[in-house]
Amino acid sequence: MSDVAPDPWGVLRNATRARVALGRAGDGLPTARELEFRAAHAAARDAVHTALDGDRVRAALTTAGVGLDVLEVHSAAPDRGTYLQRPDLGRRLADGTTLPGGTCDLALVIADGLSPRAVHEHAAGTVAAVLDRLPGWSVAPLVLAHQARVALGDPVGAALGAAIVVVLVGERPGLSSADSLGLYLTHDPRPGRADSERNCISNVRPPHGLGYAQAADTLVALLQAARQLGASGVVLKDEGIALPSGG
């Protein structure tokens, strides 16, 4: 018979990706938990500094069956270091950027944000799930944005003549999630829109966060409501069920 008592916190730890019930060894963490912390911290740093691979995203979109043309743009931040130090530059298009004008119901912008890893792993599946749920909507060419913040979707959406823009962006990595994708919806996009005029769906990262289907269902419901209301942000509420109900 083993003399080792079962860990009473095991059930809790297995139910969440958060760093809970880590235990202790003297005045510090157990060695295994310290090594896990260092690995998570390294993964978060790597996610922030990874370069967005446009070819990889295009290939993933093709594999996912997304048939839209893809355009690439850059923000006014010339490199990653500047982007991290000057958030304002990540909200503006680089000088001389041109995009095809027109009118459409929706523009989708895939932005590297603070985790290009999240874009590499989850953007294509999310886009495919969203488009499958929007028959009859006119959609602009996809825009892949480098060194981009959420607000870069405003000038992009305005240039494309989109009634609504959705920015799929890599979210700030945490110690339990370095690959989280966020979806930001803005009705009538144009430069100067405030964050209060957007709706956000965060933590798209199956299997530990939202799955593509659930995120797409929520986003499409918000898109339809925004089009009917003629607005987004604090005046637009997500009336859906946040978590699946128990059987």
Query: Cα(189)–Cα(163) distance, rounded to whole angstroms?
Result: 7
The pTM is what?
0.85
Query: Looking at per-residue confidence, does 5 or 39 come out higher?
Result: 39
Indicate if the pLDDT at residue 167 is higher than 90: yes
103 in Cβ contact with 144 (< 8 Å): no
134 in Cβ contact with 72 (< 8 Å): no
DSSP assignment string, 62-108: HHTT--S-EEEEEBS--SHHHHHH-TTGGGSBPTT-------EEEEE
pLDDT digits (tens, 9 = 90+) for 53-107: 999 999 999 999 999 999 999 999 999 999 999 999 999 999 999 999 899 999 9
pLDDT of residue 91: 97
Q: Which of 63, 171, 167 is nearest to 125 (CA)?
A: 63
C-beta atoms surrounding 132 within 10 Å:
14
Query: Cα(205)–Cα(20) distance, rounded to whole angstroms?
Result: 20
DSSP assignment string, 28-64: B--HHHHHHHHHHHHHHHHHHHPPP-HHHHHHHHHHT
Q: Residue 70 forms beta bridges with which residues? A: 142
pLDDT of residue 35: 78
Q: Tokens standing for 137?
A: 């909507």
pLDDT of residue 243: 40
pLDDT digits (tens, 9 = 90+) for 196-242: 999 999 999 999 899 999 999 999 999 999 999 999 999 998 766 44
